[in-house]
Structure 1
Amino acid sequence: MSVEPRLKDSAGPAAPPEPADPGTAPRATEETAAGQAVRETLEDYTLRFAPRGYRRWSPMVVATTALGGIAYMADFSIGAGIAFSHGTGNALYAIALAAVVIFVTGFPLAYYAARYNIDLDLITRGSGFGYYGSVLTSVIFASFTFIFFALEGSIMAQGLKLGLDLPLWLGYLLSTCLVIPLVIYGMKALSTLQVWTTPIWLLLMVGPLVYLIAEDPGTVDRFLGYPGTGADGGGISTASVLLGAGVCLSLIAQIGEQIDYLRFMPPKTEENRRSWWAAVVMAGPGWVVLGALKQAIGVFLAVYVLAEVGPAAATEPIQQFKGAFDTMMPSWLVLPLAVVLVVISQIKINVTNAYSGSLAWTNSFTRVTRRYPGRLVFVLVNLGIALTLMEADMFSFLNDILSFYANCAIAWVVTVATDIMVNKYLLKLSPLAPEFRRGMLYAVNPVGVVAFTAASGLSIAMYFHLLGDALQPYSPVAAVVLAFVLTPVMALATKGRYYLRRTTDGIEEPLLDAEGNPSGTPYTCHVCRQEYERPDLTACQAHQDVVCSLCLSTDRTGAHVLPPAPAPA
């Protein structure tokens, strides 16, 4: 049952009622089979807060679903590629260094997503970038999803070629089309898929490693002693470690995909406090622990099969696991199991890539054009781009792509994490509660935009040797340091005045309840006549009523947007 909103700071007498603008309201759905599918796609709460009434999963179910999304096999290739270039020692140090950075920066983002039930784009808006400023980072995140979709699709195609003799082009097409039916239905379908497939995936991934070590302990010595092909001959080198860490740090944007699940966490209460925190840490920054282990396993398996398949094929996960399975089971079972592992992994991660990418594209498109085409359109767009990359054989230059991309991803994530940790909690210049609604934020906040642009720009210049060969390996370090330093510097320089365009949204009821969770009170948006919870609405400029965040995003005239009322400088 809706409650009547009590408004304050109204803009004057109420205007006469007017019909909802069909161009600004979400499309209605019908309870037919087709209408049901449309309704399911809207369950993802694109562009908006995930309401309490929808978040019925336990913390552990949400965590298991989120962790299912990191079943990708690219980690095995990434670890192997670094080891072949720089040796096992440098590869392990690089993996560990990147994991520490990813864990530290991912923690505040995961907490904000789970506590306030919003995705990374919505967090970015209120953490230094502004309403339109975060469009840039949404595109970067969307790029992350189609790059990794293409990598995983390539790995699946390699498996299908080896196991079923399918040509690569057909494998690319099959790996792309296979996820479409699964990703249409959003969180409900994905949670079921991830929970049921995770035990099988873990058994197939960990079993061969345990068997090989138990059967032949000498494999560990050969693994640790592998020198690689680099000029340092396997010795520990700072440059090699940093170059390897730069490749691993391209995965820093994975926290965005974890957050797309973590935003569906239930409210944090005294009763579920322990399981809530365990789920947030495990499925948020904790994903990198499993990711780092997979990279190390990739090094181990690549060294193990190197003599048999050669360095080019040894970076392919299907060859790695085929070689491992060869030693522990009948030959007739080897290829089928290897193919099953690759296919399960590809489906588990690529439904997440397609899902998260569609959210990011929809966020960007709707804010720029003020039109909401629906998430399914961008599922197809993201998959089309990924398929093009696969057909272009991007797997063959994997490390180059990831090293370049890492500079942008690091600058973005470190900027947002620093804004939360430093500007919000230490300097108290950034509002503690995140804000994402149009009208409440400035279009662009120079704090995040300047810090991100400078950090990514300089690190990319270093990566392409524009500042000299000696500095090239340090490009990821430059991205981290510059983003971390410039974010608070910009907040101090601007005195935090560009975070909030308004200090009140015109509704008397607080955004948060007595336990600090987003309020679950329902209100009815006067534009689309749909019911939404308190954090998803503001008062309407033209009416004595409330309007939801999606209708604000698609309001092409600005009639519903509240006027500016910034906090005093």
Structure 2
Amino acid sequence: MDSGLYTQSDAAEAQPGAVPPRQTDQAVRETLEDYTLRFAPRSYRRWTPMVVATTALGGIAYMADFSIGAGIGLAHGTGNALVAIAVAAVVIFVTGFPLAYYGARYNIDLDLITRGSGFGYYGSILTSVIFASFTFIFFALEGSIMAQGLKLGLGLPLWLGYLVSTLMVIPLVIYGMKALSKLQVWTTPVWLVLMVAPLVYLIATDPGTVDRFLSYAGTDGEGGVNTASVLLGAGVCLSLIAQIGEQIDYLRFMPPKTEANKRGWWTAVIMAGPGWVVLGALKQAIGVFLAVYILAKVGPTAAPEPIQQFRGAFDAMMPSWLVVPLAVVLVVISQIKINVTNAYSGSLAWTNSFTRVTRRYPGRMVFVLVNLGFALILMEADMFSFLNSILGFYSNCAIAWVVTVATDIGVNKYLLKISPLQPEFRRGMLHAVNPVGVVAFVAASGLSIAMYFHALGDTLQPYSPVAAAVIAFVLTPLMAIVTKGRYYLRRTDDGIDEPLLDADGNPSATTYDCHVCRQPYERPDLAACRTHDAVICSLCLSTDKVGDHVLPATAVQPVR
């Protein structure tokens, strides 16, 4: 498009503190593709609520749930696995609801939400790294599953399968939300049919499979439901709590909520926000079912592999020549659907952190490759063989983060009214670090990780995810009360007279031109410039190396 950007001849006219012209050009081109690192403006959000929801739900077509459920079920038995899956699903739904609402209502991603919900402008870098880690861990898991499928179907060695599964997503990730929405919408029906059909067939033709599934006691041989096994299983499932971040990467493109569309709007937000866990929990339960079904044929080592699970299920309902190709197609479709999301969301998280720390924008594609590099290393290290250990450890950090932010929104904003109700993410408006979220997160994750590694004894080890959630839930409002909310906002006035929200409570659609990059942006993405009678966009503020454009701090009254 004709963007009116700086050229090299403009360099001499650049304002003090302005972003170098080439860097500005690159940042504007890339971030205007799908508003990476930014508020998503109304002019870009042309999808209906249901299209956004379908796109977001398409991203959870991953096969990891089958492996996670199978691993828990084989170790602890069906009863413990189903209770663990249900407990984790409830926690994920409850904590995901306020995050999904904020992302959809105010059109910002989870990192921007986190900044204003207890962490501060730089404090949320901690959680950006946690989220980026989530994306490459699960990319590696899905890539491993795809490599298993390619080995079975095409005879490719695993190391080559890992490489293929990594490289094939790069072209799809380049084009952002527009390409991802088309991919997810068109592939979801095929994926659903291939996943559900064999399960329905097995139950209908062999009801005894259900009895064997329900009576399976697990390798620990204890049988029945016990607290330690349930909590260990729930801890693994709760590693998926950070999935809400990827859901919000889509939900931020929801259209404005109005009286005319509020029913469809809420349905879409609940379905694609916290509602993703309903399908996720079902997939985990199916994973237990299929693992028990094929256990006698393939043994405990191969039973958690989705390619083996669906190979066994398809084998019961169709000609043998069709079994392997169809199982491979299912695995490949699932891997592509989720790993384009993992690569996309991970690149946003890394870029966001790097831009704030260094105050320069390197380009999102750099971090697509960084994220894929980390994932490939994990795959080549055979992470699939110690999957539950990785996820159990990671879940403590993810739980601490998500519960902290959800508590700040639900309790500190709406109940205690200490945290500002309207989200804030712009540099200059927030303190660098807010001890409310940072202290709660560090304490919750640190203590729960110590418990996970038996530092507080073997008895408490299964309770590490519970500790992460409880400590974060208690410390977040406590820290807000102790600090009287004085560290949420550095200033309350951004220097622009027009309100951020319109009469319906939606972000204002009025546009202003940023005087640094010379592009029009909607009201919530801008602030007044400190040294010029003009406005500046949030990304140019982030990349202002000397702070000439950043508004000075003002006295903010603490909550009494």
> What letter is aligned with 1:416?
V
What residue number does 1:5 align with? none
What residue number does 2:47 align with? 57
| 1:138-172 CA-partner distances (Å, limit 9, x unpaired) | 00000000000000000000000001101111100
Aligned pair 1:399/2:388, yes or no?
yes
Aligned pair 1:164/2:161, yes or no?
no
In the TM superposition, residue 27 of structure 1 has moved relative to its aligned partner by 3.4
In the TM superposition, residue 251 of structure 1 has moved relative to its aligned partner by 0.2
Aligned pair 1:151/2:141, yes or no?
yes
**What 5-or-longer segments of structure 2 have no aligned partner?**
1-12
Which of 172, 196, 200 aligns to 1:210? It is 200
In the TM superposition, residue 17 of structure 1 has moved relative to its aligned partner by 8.5
Aligned pair 1:354/2:348, yes or no?
no
Q: TM-score, normalised by structure 1?
A: 0.94
Q: Where do 1:482-521 residues align within 5 Å?
A: 482-521=471-510
Q: For 2:459, what is the secondary structure of its paired residue?
A: helix
In the TM superposition, residue 19 of structure 1 has moved relative to its aligned partner by 7.2
Contact 1:24/1:556 (<8 A) preserved: no
Q: TM-score, normalised by structure 2?
A: 0.96
| 1:321-371 CA-partner distances (Å, limit 9, x unpaired) | 000000000001000000000000000000000000000000100000001
Q: For 1:298, what is the secondary structure of its paired residue?
A: helix
Aligned pair 1:532/2:529, yes or no?
no
* Counterparts of 1:26 and 1:522, CA distance in 2: 23
Aligned pair 1:315/2:312, yes or no?
no
Distance 1:17 1:197, change over 3 A: closer
| 1:152-199 CA-partner distances (Å, limit 9, x unpaired) | 000000000001101111100000011000010000000000000000
> What letter is aligned with 1:401?
I
Residues 266-275 or 441-450, more deviating: 266-275
What residue number does 2:288 align with? 299
> What letter is aligned with 2:356?
R
| 1:372-418 CA-partner distances (Å, limit 9, x unpaired) | 01111110110011011100100000000000000000000000000
Q: Where do 1:25-64 residues align within 5 Å?
A: 26-28=23-25, 39=29, 42-64=32-54
Contact 2:23/2:360 (<8 A) preserved: no
* Counterparts of 1:142 and 1:295, CA distance in 2: 23
What residue number does 1:23 align with? 20
In the TM superposition, residue 253 of structure 1 has moved relative to its aligned partner by 0.1
Q: For 1:211, what is the secondary structure of its paired residue?
A: helix
In the TM superposition, residue 41 of structure 1 has moved relative to its aligned partner by 6.2
* Counterparts of 1:108 and 1:180, CA distance in 2: 32
In the TM superposition, residue 28 of structure 1 has moved relative to its aligned partner by 2.3
What residue number does 1:122 align with? 112
Aligned pair 1:466/2:458, yes or no?
no
Q: For 2:415, what is the secondary structure of its paired residue?
A: coil
Q: For 2:536, what is the secondary structure of its paired residue?
A: strand
In the TM superposition, residue 39 of structure 1 has moved relative to its aligned partner by 3.9
Contact 1:40/1:186 (<8 A) preserved: no
* Counterparts of 1:22 and 1:523, CA distance in 2: 18
What residue number does 1:565 align with? 554
Which of 437, 440, 452 aligns to 1:451? It is 440
* Counterparts of 1:489 and 1:522, CA distance in 2: 39
* Counterparts of 2:452 and 2:15, CA distance in 1: 56
> What letter is aligned with 2:487?
Y
Aligned pair 1:436/2:425, yes or no?
yes
> What letter is aligned with 2:87?
L
Which of 133, 152, 164 aligns to 1:174? It is 164
* Counterparts of 2:249 and 2:286, CA distance in 1: 27
* Counterparts of 2:174 and 2:233, CA distance in 1: 36
Contact 1:41/1:184 (<8 A) preserved: no
Between the two proteins, the alignment pairs up a number of residues equal to 546
Q: Where do 1:332-371 residues align within 5 Å?
A: 332-371=321-360
Q: For 1:27, what is the secondary structure of its paired residue?
A: helix
Contact 2:19/2:543 (<8 A) preserved: no
Q: For 2:425, what is the secondary structure of its paired residue?
A: coil
In the TM superposition, residue 567 of structure 1 has moved relative to its aligned partner by 1.3
Query: What root-mean-square deviation, in Å, do the aligned CA atoms of Structure 1 and Structure 2 show?
Result: 1.4
Contact 1:25/1:551 (<8 A) preserved: no
What residue number does 1:85 align with? 75
Contact 2:19/2:540 (<8 A) preserved: no
In the TM superposition, residue 42 of structure 1 has moved relative to its aligned partner by 3.9
Aligned pair 1:68/2:58, yes or no?
yes
Contact 1:182/1:189 (<8 A) preserved: yes
Residues 426-435 or 16-25, more deviating: 16-25
* Counterparts of 1:424 and 1:41, CA distance in 2: 30
In the TM superposition, residue 20 of structure 1 has moved relative to its aligned partner by 7.6
Q: For 2:527, what is the secondary structure of its paired residue?
A: strand
Q: For 1:28, what is the secondary structure of its paired residue?
A: helix
| 1:284-319 CA-partner distances (Å, limit 9, x unpaired) | 000000000000000000000000000100000000
* Counterparts of 2:281 and 2:14, CA distance in 1: 58
Aligned pair 1:548/2:537, yes or no?
yes
* Counterparts of 1:496 and 1:80, CA distance in 2: 45
* Counterparts of 2:246 and 2:359, CA distance in 1: 24
Contact 1:445/1:498 (<8 A) preserved: yes
Q: For 2:460, what is the secondary structure of its paired residue?
A: helix
**What 5-or-longer segments of structure 1 have no aligned partner?**
1-15, 30-34
* Counterparts of 1:135 and 1:348, CA distance in 2: 27
Distance 1:202 1:559, change over 3 A: same
* Counterparts of 1:17 and 1:545, CA distance in 2: 14
Contact 1:246/1:406 (<8 A) preserved: yes
> What letter is aligned with 2:150?
L
Distance 1:290 1:326, change over 3 A: same
* Counterparts of 2:279 and 2:498, CA distance in 1: 42
Aligned pair 1:195/2:153, yes or no?
no
What residue number does 1:236 align with? 225
* Counterparts of 1:25 and 1:466, CA distance in 2: 51
Structure 1 segments of 4+ aligned residues over 2 angstroms from their partners: 16-29, 38-42
* Counterparts of 2:514 and 2:19, CA distance in 1: 14
Which of 111, 114, 135 aligns to 2:101? It is 111
What residue number does 2:10 align with? none
* Counterparts of 2:463 and 2:224, CA distance in 1: 19
Distance 1:24 1:249, change over 3 A: farther
Distance 1:24 1:256, change over 3 A: farther
